[in-house]
Amino acid sequence: MTVRVDPVIQPAKHLEHVASEVAQIAAHYVRSSVGKAAAARTKSTPTDVVTHTDLESERLIRAELLARCPGSAIVGEEFDDDEGSNGVGWIVDPIDGTVNFLYDLPVVSVSIAATIDGRVVAGAVADVLRGDVFTATLGEGARLDGVPIEVVVPDDFSQALIGTGFAYDATIRAIEAKVVAELLPACRDIRCMGSAALNLCWVGCGRLNGFYERAIQLYDYAAGALIAAEAGAILDLPDANGLDLTVCAPDPIYTELRRIAIEAANS
């Protein structure tokens, strides 16, 4: 009998290891700057801040990735894309939770996803303060500090703890307020903790039962989405739905969460 081996899995496992290693290096650097954050500039709005540590963290990540995987393409939050010269790519968020970092709040992460020919195949999210490292390889499951994780499904949507986040744009926030008004009476409670990457990972390990957010970018969700999916969550992502909406939860929580998020926004 011939056993067919997916040609992507072995290189993807290597890329998971690289993503994990580099995410931990960057998390250590960011952790050394906690309590000393200084704003460098703003982006989309006056509240969308970039710190000097964001910039230095991304420089560090780019250098470490290219040292390990020369010729890789890199898409990052703070600098122009590197096109690369082979089929391997990286999607980098050097600090997910920058406002938390600026205010010395303890929900901050580093997120690195790996792609082969444009497809996300591996990823790592390092919790800067807690020290957790979430990783996954496409088709090979998700792990927290090397131990397999899976989603937790409550008995009813009314028992689901839901995570979310809010956009910097005031117009989008008005829509988000309508969704919260409909969702809050329907679920156990809502948490807004400031790092989409960690929220997605927390769905994957059962610390949350669902997550949704508008107006987040590829670098915010690329690694966390793979980790959540490999842990058993269903995802609806902006690049697929055209709604600028991310929804993540196990079924049947996913179905109800997505319905409320869309219907309330359009009411």
What local confidence, expressed as pLDDT, does residue 74 receive?
A: 98
Query: Distance between CA 35 and CA 37 in Å, rounded?
Result: 6
CATH architecture of 9-148: 2-Layer Sandwich (3.30)
Q: Is the pLDDT of residue 109 over 80?
A: yes
Closest CA to 158 of 186, 191, 189, 190: 186
What local confidence, expressed as pLDDT, does residue 4 receive?
A: 42
What local confidence, expressed as pLDDT, does residue 263 receive?
A: 96
Q: Decide the pairing of beta strands 88-96 and 109-116.
A: antiparallel
Show the DSSP H helices in the chain as ranges: 9-32, 52-68, 98-102, 170-183, 196-205, 218-230, 238-241, 253-266
* CB contact at 8 A, 199 and 187: no
* CB contact at 8 A, 221 and 165: no
- Percent of the chain whose predicted confidence (pLDDT) is above 90: 87
Average pLDDT, the chain: 94
Other Cβ atoms within 10 Å of 128 Cβ, number: 30
DSSP state of 159: G
Query: Distance between CA 194 and CA 137 in Å, rounded?
Result: 25
Fold match, 9-148 / 157-266: no
pLDDT digits (tens, 9 = 90+) for 84-99: 999 999 999 999 999 9
How large is the C-alpha radius of gyration of the chain? Answer: 18
Query: Distance between CA 215 and CA 240 in Å, rounded?
Result: 14
* CB contact at 8 A, 130 and 15: no
Any idea which of 24-33, 34-43, 90-99, 251-260 has the lowest mean pLDDT?
A: 34-43
Query: Distance between CA 267 and CA 262 in Å, rounded?
Result: 9
- Percent of the chain whose predicted confidence (pLDDT) is above 70: 97
Q: If DSSP codes are grouped into helix, strand and coil, which group holds residue 135?
A: strand
Task: Give yes or no for a cis peptide into 252 (omega within 30° of 0).
Answer: yes
State which fold the 157-266 domain adopts: D-Maltodextrin-Binding Protein; domain 2 (3.40.190)
In the numeric block, which tokens belong to residue 117? 């020919």
Q: What are the CA-CA distances from residue 69 to residues 18, 133, 163, 225 (Å)?
A: 9, 21, 34, 23
What local confidence, expressed as pLDDT, does residue 5 receive?
A: 42
What local confidence, expressed as pLDDT, does residue 8 receive?
A: 57
Output the pTM of the full model.
0.94
pLDDT digits (tens, 9 = 90+) for 143-178: 999 999 999 999 999 999 999 999 999 999 999 999
Q: Decide the pairing of beta strands 189-192 and 161-164.
A: parallel
Mean of pLDDT values over 37-57: 86
What is the residue extent of each domain of the chain?
Answer: 9-148, 157-266
Any idea which of 5-19, 115-129, 229-243 has the lowest mean pLDDT?
A: 5-19
Q: Decide the pairing of beta strands 49-51 and 189-192.
A: unpaired
What local confidence, expressed as pLDDT, does residue 12 receive?
A: 95
In the numeric block, which tokens belong to residue 164? 């979310």
> Is the model more confident about 39 or about 243?
243
Burial of 105 (0-12, 13-18, 19+ CB in 10 A): middle
* CB contact at 8 A, 213 and 190: no
